[in-house]
A = this chain, B = another copy of it.
């Protein structure tokens, strides 16, 4: 049992490490040579240039202006200042709505914490249940005095907890309802944003693409026809079945091999640049070995070797590209069909086309950047088989992942190493190495697995056949959440591997589940408080420091960068990472709701996490992250569902807990809560979820009419014709024209249209001038 002072120590350590990170960040970000690491978003948007030019030599690298260092936390209010509509323009709706998750955390937990501390804490504190319990050999900490554990069995005080459970549920549902409403209307507004004219350069490319997306439908599983090509087939089908609406279409090429070539060429070009730089610095022609990893083989001149290799590859790319374009077999049975009006596209995306519902599947086309090209041609039967395989695989991953890890851990133990590699024996006997192997290696093995978990889950989702990156990430997130729920939440409460829990659950009566969890919950409060501080506080503070991109940027800068464009390529802004971030937030929602009525002492720690994370991520979204795609907040129904799930878990746990406390007269009143919560979820699903799946005809028609009135002679076909080209295909076309432009290709096309309403922020970011008041508006 941890005492209050233990927690105090842990808090001190974590707070100081968090402060340390912030301090390092505050200093590092002001250095001009780190500018591209901490403000890459502005560079990508073309609104900021290197501060290196036209300064004194020293100030090129180190900021000598002492005034800049005065406010360590200046970036925090700055991050909060940008108003929401501008933030949508600047970073897209996905990022803004992602921030709302943290905001919801604050909105839910601040009033709940207030209520819990004014009502429940006095009720618990003034009880004396633990004094009696201590006789029975149960040790308790000071934290437990604040928790429900301190209330006597059969006490009438439990009515307070039950009433509070009702209050918490209603408040959470109210916040969720209001936010679902708000996000749904934000999404519809975003989809309908009328900003398409090419002269209107204050428009971000994301909204740009979204405006067109309303006219595009992705068609999958086009049935093969021996007499017609896929392209003709698509044209005929839509000309017949959507007469007067069909505009044009783009077929999808199978360019996986081409993509491989282009990737290889890019890598070789990087090496070429590296050796050329080396030559410049050392004036000695570098040599390499051609064998595996450059370890053996014939010695050749590195620069010549790479130039010839690149030439060879370029030729292969040309051949392959011709082949892909001209071979009908490389056309996949999928196409992007565009329509003359939003109305027609909405109709096509929402209806069943053919008698066989597994052919001619239509859905909204994902944004071009969001398309996961490799999964487009998977047929329906294969999809259902894949789902089955992955469902089984995920079950084993969740419940049996400890088996291979335990195996590796035995291998990595002292005995294991001595058996597998007897020649290491003398080394192992050194005390330092021995203690390292015993103390750290097993933990590191587990940690490594957890680091790779998102990747494993992502591979599983990819195998399942989703056709957009956003849906891949959503799927991974829900799997990750389940994994966290079983292995972090239940795993720590019940102590034991997931499989042991599973088997103990199977061998327990169903009515014992909530009791088992309910008994353990209050005892684990102090553990979870520490967990929140380590995982929540310190790691959020580390997020803002961007240590990995910082190191990589400077390494690349040193070895590879020749031109301004290379420097841009060297930046690694990263993105939000919905599939890793959201499951973590959900864990805090779960902990917060579960402990709200049980141990309110947990709540302040969670509130600090949400507040800190909100500020940090707002800063990162404004200055750093470069989102890879825009899904229009399509993830919200998932977020909503998981918070509701956490609410239901919290109610069941409380029921179990009160059962062990023998509060027989009051516990039955809790049964109503989960039923009402499930009903609330169903209501919200029916009321708001269609906004994330469908597109109402009324909206589409309004937009169409408006557009026809304002721009009667719009040439849509020209724009839509090439909106969906396989990115690699685009790249490879480019490669032949100008080798130097390969790397910057993507960035350039983007920055051509990406401007925001803000003024250029040349050097140290200045606070935004407009609408300060509304920056926190919700």
Contacts and interface: CB of A to CB of B under 8 A. Distances in A.
A686 B679 CA distance: 26
Contacts of A392: 675
A506 B687 CA distance: 34
A683 B379 CA distance: 13
Nearest to A684: B384
A384 B683 contact: yes
A505 B509 CA distance: 8
Interface string A324-368: 000000000000000000010011001111111110100000000
A682 interface: yes
Q: Is the interface of A mostly helix, strand, loop or mixed?
A: helix
A312 interface: no
Contact of A188 (B237, B355, B388, B694): B355
B694 A351 contact: yes
Contacts of A698: 237, 240-241, 353-355, 360
Contacts of A773: none
Interface string A470-509: 0000000000000000000000000000000000011111
B384 A241 contact: no
A655 to B, nearest CB: 13
A357 B691 contact: yes
Contact of A388 (B360, B679, B689): B679
A95 B694 CA distance: 36
A675 B384 CA distance: 13
Contacts of A353: 696-698
Contacts of A39: none
Nearest to A354: B698
Interface residues of A, number: 48
A510 interface: yes
Interface string A248-279: 00000000000000000000000000000000
Contacts of A686: 357-358, 380, 384
A610 interface: no
A694 B354 CA distance: 10
Nearest to A242: B697
Interface in A501-524: 505-511
B240 A701 contact: yes
A347 B688 CA distance: 21
A352 B384 contact: no
Contacts of A241: 343, 697-698, 701
Contact of A510 (B505, B675, B687): B505
In this complex, the member of A351, A506, A699 whose beta carbon has the largest number of chain B beta carbons within 10 angstroms is: A351
A507 B509 contact: yes
A690 interface: yes
Contacts of A701: 240-241
Contact of A351 (B242, B351, B388): B351
Contacts of A683: 381, 384
A687 B354 CA distance: 12
Contacts of A387: 679, 682
Contacts of A237: 698
Contacts of A689: 357
A675 B240 CA distance: 42
Nearest to A244: B244
A380 B350 CA distance: 22
A21 interface: no
Interface in A19-60: none
A98 interface: no
A698 B357 CA distance: 11
Contacts of A690: 352, 357
A682 B675 CA distance: 27
Contacts of A699: 355
Interface in A378-428: 380-381, 384, 387-388, 392
Contacts of A240: 698, 701
Nearest to A383: B686
A695 interface: yes
Nearest to A694: B352
Contacts of A694: 351-352, 357
Contacts of A356: 687
A324 B774 CA distance: 52
A241 to B, nearest CB: 5
A672 to B, nearest CB: 9
Contacts of A682: 384, 387
A80 B696 CA distance: 50
Contact of A511 (B360, B506, B688): B506
A241 B704 CA distance: 11
Contact of A509 (B242, B357, B508): B508
In this complex, the member of A392, A509, A697 whose beta carbon has the largest number of chain B beta carbons within 10 angstroms is: A697
A709 to B, nearest CB: 14
A691 B356 CA distance: 8
A675 B392 CA distance: 9
Interface string A158-201: 00000000000000000000000000000010000000000000
Given A353-B696, A690-B352, A508 B510 contact: yes
Given A384-B686, A392-B675, A695 B352 contact: yes
A506 B506 contact: no
Interface in A663-698: 675, 679, 682-683, 686-691, 694-698
A224 B507 CA distance: 56
Given A506-B510, A679-B384, A686-B380, A347 B358 contact: no
A127 to B, nearest CB: 30
A188 B354 CA distance: 11
A509 B506 contact: yes
A747 B240 CA distance: 42
Interface of A: 188, 237, 240-242, 343, 346-347, 350-358, 360, 380-381, 384, 387-388, 392, 505-511, 675, 679, 682-683, 686-691, 694-699, 701
24 contacts: A240-B701, A241-B343, A242-B697, A347-B351, A351-B696, A352-B695, A352-B696, A352-B697, A353-B696, A353-B698, A354-B696, A354-B698, A355-B691, A355-B696, A357-B686, A358-B687, A387-B682, A506-B509, A506-B510, A506-B511, A507-B511, A508-B510, A509-B510, A510-B510
Question: Across chains A and B, which 3 residue pairs bring their CB atoms closest together, nearest first?
Answer: A357-B690, A352-B694, A506-B511
Given A241-B343, A384-B686, 10 more contacts: A241-B698, A241-B701, A347-B351, A352-B696, A352-B697, A354-B698, A355-B699, A357-B690, A380-B686, A508-B509
